[in-house]
């Protein structure tokens, strides 16, 4: 008997047991569907996280105060006071640091912002002019904080779009208006473009003022929360990190790098770490989904064992008529493979639909993990072979007289 004939016979048999066929296929559909959905969701989440981090500035280095040996779990960025605006200016003017482009310093804290009767507690960032370009923050209207604002301690403010909505409501042009920050009057000179939240920074809910104004006028401090540096090329991150590190050690007169009172990390490092973490989660979720696939496979095996017992007589007849062991094995194996492959194909469709629905609902990029489809179909074939093999073997080993006697 040829494979095609065996397949035609198997399909006939499967059609006569519709309910049973449907239920055993369902196990595979769920397994394959969930593997595809979770792989796709994982991939979409990873892509979205990467995009958000890239939005921070793809070739940006962040220098924060506090020692590296205390790790990243310090009491929030800027809790130590070892970095100053002078450090940022020194870095910008140092000829030996060849890899960097722009330098910005930031001091951020929370403050009460009020316009007429409206007020809200927001993050107030004292910044220098290059901050906006380094952090990829665009201006919607008006202007940015300028160098002369910083030098003259001007009381000017650039608002995030959410702050504008909160303070002014619709239909009021905020430019030129006077707002109060912790009781001090500031003139609004610009509004930033909407950007969305990037992790714990939400640039839309921030008020930007000149760094010096924030330090001396508002919060009475001398240090900065962070210094941001842009590298000339994206590949320069490592070199820039070295140059900056050694230069700052020298500037702070620290001999042993382990005693450094600042730490530097690059967005590319963060990107790598986050990608790795989301990748691990995707693998983990896919692994859990794979368990349901195995359970589906066991379901197939169960059904095939029942089928073999039920059709013992038929196997006996076939053997009496000259069916060899191979013919019987192939027949039952093909039946199991048809079940799993049909389940696999439907499962792919279901998985793709679920992924499309969920990524849309969760606002993730609309992607399909195409490699998961190939993988799923291959896996369902393999499951058919593995879990169909034992029942098929059992069928082929039946002795013809025993099988013929079976009622």
Phi–psi pair at 207, nearest 5 degrees: -110, 125
CB of 325 to another protein, least distance (A): 6
Contact with another protein (CB under 8 A) among 320, 362, 378, 382:
320
Contact with another protein (CB under 8 A) among 290, 356, 400, 406:
400
Torsion sign (Cα): 63, 190, 129, 137: positive
State yes or no: residue 3 binds another protein (CB under 8 A). Answer: no
Segments in 311-324 forming alpha helices (H):
312-320
Contact with another protein (CB under 8 A) among 68, 94, 269, 314:
314
SS3 (DSSP) at 80? coil
CB of 387 to another protein, least distance (A): 24
State yes or no: residue 167 binds another protein (CB under 8 A). Answer: no
Nearest to 352 by CA among 327, 375, 369, 371: 369
Neighbours of 176 (CB within 10 A): 9
Torsion sign (Cα): 170, 172, 175, 177: negative
State yes or no: residue 404 binds another protein (CB under 8 A). Answer: yes
Contact with another protein (CB under 8 A) among 19, 73, 258, 321:
321
Nearest to 297 by CA among 394, 392, 388, 393: 388
Stated as kind and residue range, the H or E segment containing 179 is strand 178-181
CB of 15 to another protein, least distance (A): 9
State yes or no: residue 220 binds another protein (CB under 8 A). Answer: no
CB of 12 to another protein, least distance (A): 7
State yes or no: residue 401 binds another protein (CB under 8 A). Answer: yes
Write the DSSP string, 17-57.
Answer: THHHHHHHHHHHHHHHHHHHHHHHHHHHHHHHHHHHHHHT-
State yes or no: residue 16 binds another protein (CB under 8 A). Answer: yes
Q: Decide if 384 contacts 339 (C-beta within 8 A).
A: yes
Nearest to 396 by CA among 264, 304, 279: 304
State yes or no: residue 325 binds another protein (CB under 8 A). Answer: yes
State yes or no: residue 394 binds another protein (CB under 8 A). Answer: no
Measured from the CB atom, is 195 or 325 closer to another protein? 325
State yes or no: residue 19 binds another protein (CB under 8 A). Answer: no
State yes or no: residue 323 binds another protein (CB under 8 A). Answer: yes
Residue reference for tokens 């008529």: 321
Stated as kind and residue range, the H or E segment containing 216 is none
Strand partners, 364: none
CB of 327 to another protein, least distance (A): 6
Measured from the CB atom, is 135 or 318 closer to another protein? 318
Alpha-carbon distances, residue 334 vs 263, 268, 381 (angstroms): 62, 50, 10
State yes or no: residue 95 binds another protein (CB under 8 A). Answer: no
CB of 3 to another protein, least distance (A): 12
CB of 30 to another protein, least distance (A): 30
State yes or no: residue 74 binds another protein (CB under 8 A). Answer: no
Nearest to 122 by CA among 189, 203, 64, 57: 203
State yes or no: residue 313 binds another protein (CB under 8 A). Answer: yes
Measured from the CB atom, is 75 or 322 closer to another protein? 322
- Contacting range for another protein; rule: CB under 8 A; set: 95-103, 130-138, 162-170, 396-404: 396-404
Name the residues that contact another protein, by CB under 8 A. Answer: 1, 5, 12-13, 16, 313-314, 316-327, 399-401, 404
């Amino acid at each position: 008997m040829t494979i095609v004939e065996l397949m035609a016979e198997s399909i006939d048999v499967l059609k006569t047991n519709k309910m049973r066929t449907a239920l055993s296929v369902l196990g595979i559909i769920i397994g394959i569907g969930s593997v595809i959905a979770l792989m796709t969701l994982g991939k979409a989440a990873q892509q979205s996280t990467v995009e958000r981090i890239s939005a921070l500035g793809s070739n940006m280095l962040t220098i924060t105060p506090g020692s590296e040996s205390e790790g990243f779990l310090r009491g929030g960025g800027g809790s130590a006071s070892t970095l100053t605006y002078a450090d940022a200016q020194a870095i910008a003017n140092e000829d030996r640091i060849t890899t960097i482009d722009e330098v910005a310093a930031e001091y951020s804290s929370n403050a009460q912002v009020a316009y007429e009767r409206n007020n809200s507690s927001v993050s107030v960032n004292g910044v220098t002019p290059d901050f906006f370009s380094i952090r990829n923050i665009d201006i919607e209207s008006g202007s940015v904080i300028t160098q002369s604002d910083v030098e003259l301690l001007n009381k000017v403010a650039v608002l995030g779009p959410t702050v504008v909505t909160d303070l002014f409501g619709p239909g009021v042009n905020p430019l030129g208006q006077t707002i109060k920050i912790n009781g001090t009057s500031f003139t609004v000179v610009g509004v930033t473009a909407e950007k969305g939240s990037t992790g714990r920074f939400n640039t839309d809910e921030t008020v930007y003022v000149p760094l010096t104004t924030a330090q001396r006028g508002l919060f009475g401090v001398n240090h900065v929360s962070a210094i941001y540096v842009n590298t000339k090329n994206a590949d320069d991150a490592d070199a820039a990190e070295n140059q900056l590190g050694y230069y700052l050690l020298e500037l702070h007169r620290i001999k042993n790098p382990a005693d450094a009172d600042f730490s530097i990390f690059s967005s590319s490092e963060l990107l790598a770490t986050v990608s790795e973490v989301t990748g691990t989660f995707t693998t983990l979720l896919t692994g859990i989904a794979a368990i349901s696939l195995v359970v589906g496979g066991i379901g197939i095996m169960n059904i095939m064992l029942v089928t073999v017992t039920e059709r013992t007589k038929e196997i006996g007849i076939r053997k009496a008529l000259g069916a060899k062991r191979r013919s019987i094995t192939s027949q039952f194996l093909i039946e199991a493979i048809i079940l799993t492959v049909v389940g696999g194909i439907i499962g792919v469709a279901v998985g793709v639909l679920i992924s499309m629905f969920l990524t849309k609902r969760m606002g993730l990029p609309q992607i399909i993990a195409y490699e998961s489809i190939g993988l799923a179909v291959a896996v369902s074939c393999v499951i058919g072979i593995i879990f169909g093999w034992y029942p098929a073997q059992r069928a082929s080993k039946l002795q013809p007289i025993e099988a013929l006697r079976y009622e």
